[in-house]
A = this chain, B = another copy of it.
Amino acid sequence: MAEQAPERAGRRGRGGGGAARRAERTGPKLEFARFIERNVPNFEILNEEALEIIEYNAETVLEEIGVNFVENPAALERWRQAGADVQGERVRIPRGLARQLCATAPSQFTQHARNSERNVVIGGKNLVLAPVYGPPFVRDLNGGRRYATIADFRNFVKLGQMSKWLHHSGGTVCEPTDVPVNKRHLDMLYAHMTLSDKPFMGSVTEPSRAADSVEMAKVLFGDQFVDDNTVMTSLVNINSPLTFDSVMMGALEVYAAANQACIISPFIVGGAMAPVSVAGTLTQVLAEVLAGVAYSQLIRPGAPVIFGAFVTSIDMNSGAPTFGTPEAAQITLGAGQLARRLNLPYRSAGSFCGSKLPDAQAAYETANSLNIGLLSGVNFMLHACGWLEGGLVSSYEKFVMDADQLGVLHRLAAGIDMSENGQGMDAIREVGPGGHYLGCAHTQANFKDAFWKTSVLDYKPFETWEEEGARDTVALASARVQKMLGEYQPPAIDPGVVEALDAFVAKKKAAEPDSFM
């Protein structure tokens, strides 16, 4: 089992301290699970020949077609010096060069949290789960669909902190649209740093905001700690096909230089930003990631990065992206194999769905993606809970519904206990033909931890369920959201650190006028 006992006082970053330890001893018990360490194999959908074809084709794309680094003369110069053929903004990379540059990227890395018990190791057999990222809207059962605010943002950070199976606080859990665009990142980071003690993500919407993120992290963790350790993992999208814009690359340059981690992730709606075929999409994904990761290593060899693949298919009737589809599953599985052959941590899958409501469609699509994500060897799953309506909406109810299902992944990944106790021969001997196991010694000794337990779903008899109001999953989840927000208590933090963070945010906010563009 990948679960771990609740936190003990012990080693920790600067953010914790004595107050935190006291709070831990006296506060209400908060259950949390350690990141998943898989004890099951990965599912390998592509054979060796297919993998070699895709790898060969990706190198052909880089060499013949190349990639564009847009409005970024420094990047072009770096590529030229590395041996690429640069013409205008087009960078053609000789066969083998990108893969060679990728070799300095670590196969796994630790992202530190201010509570060291929440540190995550990204890569290897591990799976780290982080919440939904990016939606401008939120939805809940009572309030319906509306623009997200900073109050919503804080609520989602609190729900993340309270969610046992979630290892990471994420980044833009929703867009706080009531805060000026050029100051949002400060309030978002402040919320993650103070309302959660799980690891978090930095801003990527401007290179200067990435720099602010690093500075704020230094306030929280201390300058030296951030110089020596990775404390943020941030999301750098590639403008597929084959285009690296200066905003995202600027953020990558800041983070890589500071030894902070980035997910380098093609953002693909298949059929629009990549070929309609799975193998063609995998080829483009690999070419793009090779170029992006290689570029990160040109900034700083050894900078931690993640092989990303955000891939959906398209509904050819409406042009809408579609989720939880078999094509997305195949790409997720295949890209995992490609990432492992590059020795890179892998990011894909999530609570993806196209549905407008947290209904059966949403759940089919999400479960398809979550299951395939686990089996494809994903190491970092962004959007692991709360995603709705193609990523336009963060759903309160779906956040806790999905987060509950993440427990299923933990248990499945733990593999099958083949110990003598797991074999259960004594139980079979004790019970014998025609008996039943409920009262036998083996059941008594094991029943408490024998099965994954839901915190949301209903198993009651029909009559009881009906008497209790015949609630569907959304109604049950709504009640759980209220309960969790009601019981939330902020994790202990050194008041001096909070003061310093307050001062940093105030200074930054005062330094420029508000902008909502």
Give A contacts to B, CB under 8 Å: 40-41, 43-46, 49-50, 53-54, 57, 60-61, 64-68, 90, 145, 239, 241-243, 270-284, 313-320, 322, 324-327, 329-330, 334, 354-368, 371-372, 375, 389, 392, 398, 401, 405, 408-412, 415-418, 421-425, 427-429, 431-438, 442-443, 446-448, 450-452, 454, 456-462, 465-466, 470, 472-474, 476
Contact = CB atoms under 8 A, between A and B. Distances in A.
23 contacts: A40-B45, A53-B423, A54-B423, A57-B423, A60-B425, A65-B429, A271-B450, A271-B451, A277-B421, A280-B423, A280-B424, A283-B424, A283-B425, A313-B450, A313-B451, A325-B451, A330-B416, A354-B459, A355-B473, A359-B473, A360-B472, A364-B405, A389-B462
Contact of A359 (B360, B435, B443): B360
The 6 closest A-B pairs by CB, nearest first: A280-B424, A275-B424, A367-B367, A363-B363, A326-B411, A242-B433
B473 A65 contact: no
Nearest to A41: B44
Given A271-B437, A277-B424, A367-B367, 19 more contacts: A43-B43, A50-B416, A57-B423, A68-B433, A271-B451, A272-B436, A279-B416, A281-B424, A284-B428, A315-B451, A317-B459, A325-B411, A326-B408, A356-B465, A359-B360, A359-B473, A361-B456, A363-B364, A367-B368
B359 A279 contact: no
Contacts of A318: 459-461
Given A273-B436, A276-B442, A459-B315, A364 B366 contact: yes
Contacts of A319: 438
B405 A356 contact: no
Contact of A428 (B61, B356, B363): B61
Contacts of A330: 412, 415-416
A108 to B, nearest CB: 24
B452 A53 contact: no
B359 A416 contact: no
A459 B320 contact: yes
B451 A316 contact: yes
A326 B410 CA distance: 9
